[in-house]
Amino acid sequence: MSTFVIEGGHKLSGEITPQGAKNEALQVICAVLLTAEKVIISNVPDIRDVNKLIFILSELGVKVEKINQDTYSFQADELDLDYLESEKFKKDGSSLRGSIMIVGPLLARFGKGYIPRPGGDKIGRRRLDTHFEGFIKLGATFRYNKDEKFYGVEATQLIGTNMLLDEASVTGTANIVMAAVMAKGITTIYNAACEPYLQQLCKMLNSMGAKIRGVGSNLLIIEGVEKLDGCTHVILPDMIEIGSWIGMAAMTKSSLTIKNVSWDDLGVIPRVFKKMGINLELRGDDIFIPEQESYEIQNFIDGSILTISDAPWPGFTPDLLSIILVVATQAKGSVLIHQKMFESRLFFVDKLIDMGAKVILCDPHRATVIGMNHESSLKATTMTSPDIRAGISLLIAALSAKGTSTIHNIEQIDRGYQNIDKRLQAIGAKITRVD
């Protein structure tokens, strides 16, 4: 278990370039399994989860070539499908959430897809029903080995159909889309998730020869094709990382420029930070955040306390709520944070309370934050990162706190933030990694 030691209270300044999006990378890398031809993907983030997925694909026989620091070529022309039934795969496949998305493309191309219960953040129950109900609707047979927690689907020919998803699951939609692109006939997926990750996946699949309409909406219409070809694809900047940098600038009263953010793909994210009183300026495609001594949370029009809650896209992503929560601790005013999707994602607030933040955890889904307007700073402490976004939120708290804090289990942060310590050092943070 590695640790960060952070001396808080230093301002940051300068420019930061966001990494490629983790959740898009996990989808589009799985999509390389849909063709025997070469697929070249750029802006691949160098983070633990993505590297683990690339490792799993190479164990499966995909030829992986690193062309430069963030560009890979993948060719899935000679796969060793026996790996899917090996003990090794049971271990490798369960180490991240994104691995679930190999099932759809394998089912589409080879008629079978297996996966151990995937890992990822421990932030509440994370069911996979939507994925498998979709595959079953397309004609696959399903089995689940309860003892080994191992899922399997098989089909000789997937057949297009109409389906209404029970929830707009991000990875579920991606998996079903990848299964449907080579099914016979037309598949319609209603209540589909439509995060930029999925829009990017669909654009990539269309450039490989798929026929997907409705991209960006919650109704996807997919006309099955015989085969897909190779392509090149560029991953968008990581919107969750962009939000994390905005939060970091506000909490440390710093001025930062976030480069090339792909503003049009950020949806409501900038607006939500503005509601927190944070000034943001769009300069070209960069976000400039000026130094602010204080930021004031807006109330609703009728004067009642602001609520910030998550929702499937185009709503506010749940992955930024922990960051909004930590930012609120030093704002002027109060806010109710309502994490509707995950039931264990707010427990990290105990640590913020230890640091002196004024937070009331109303129930597992809701927390009220009474901002301190920087009148008293958070106190440094020792903490353990429970999940990726709580981890970065605790890191933001530590950067703003008085004294030296220690964060253990930073592997959780490394899952999704590329070289975070080095990039923070470059903009003035005092942070050290202890292995």
Ligand X SMILES: C=C(OP(=O)(O)O)C(=O)O
Lay out the site mask for ligand UD1 across 329-358 (x = CB under 6 A, - = otherwise). ------------xx----------------
Q: Does 312 bind ligand UD1 (CB under 6 A)?
A: yes
**In the bound complex, which residue of the shown chain has the CB atom lying closest to ligand X?**
120
Question: Which of residues 113, 152, 243, 318 is near ligand UD1 by CB under 6 A?
Answer: 318
Given 319, 387, 414, 421, the residue binding ligand UD1 (CB under 6 A): 319
- The Cα 47–Cα 51 span in angstroms is 6
Which is nearer to ligand UD1, 49 or 421 (by Cβ)?
49
Chosen from ligand X, ligand UD1, none, partner binding at 92 (C-beta under 5 to 8 Å by type): none
Q: Does 310 bind ligand X (CB under 6 A)?
A: no
- Which of 105, 120, 134, 196 binds ligand X (CB under 6 A)? It is 120
Contact positions with ligand UD1 (CB under 6 A) in 150-209: 167-172, 193
Closer residue to ligand X, CB minimum distance, 22 or 351: 22
Q: Is 365 in the site for ligand X (CB under 6 A)?
A: no
Q: How far is the CB of 240 from ligand UD1 (least distance, A)?
A: 8
* Residues from 367 through 396 that contact ligand X (CB under 6 A): 388-389
259 binds ligand UD1 per the rule CB under 6 A: no
Nearer to ligand X, 240 or 359 (CB): 240
Q: One of 49, 70, 92, 121 is an active-site residue; which one?
A: 121
State yes or no: is 265 an active-site residue.
Answer: no
**Residues flagged as binding site:** 22-23, 97, 319, 341
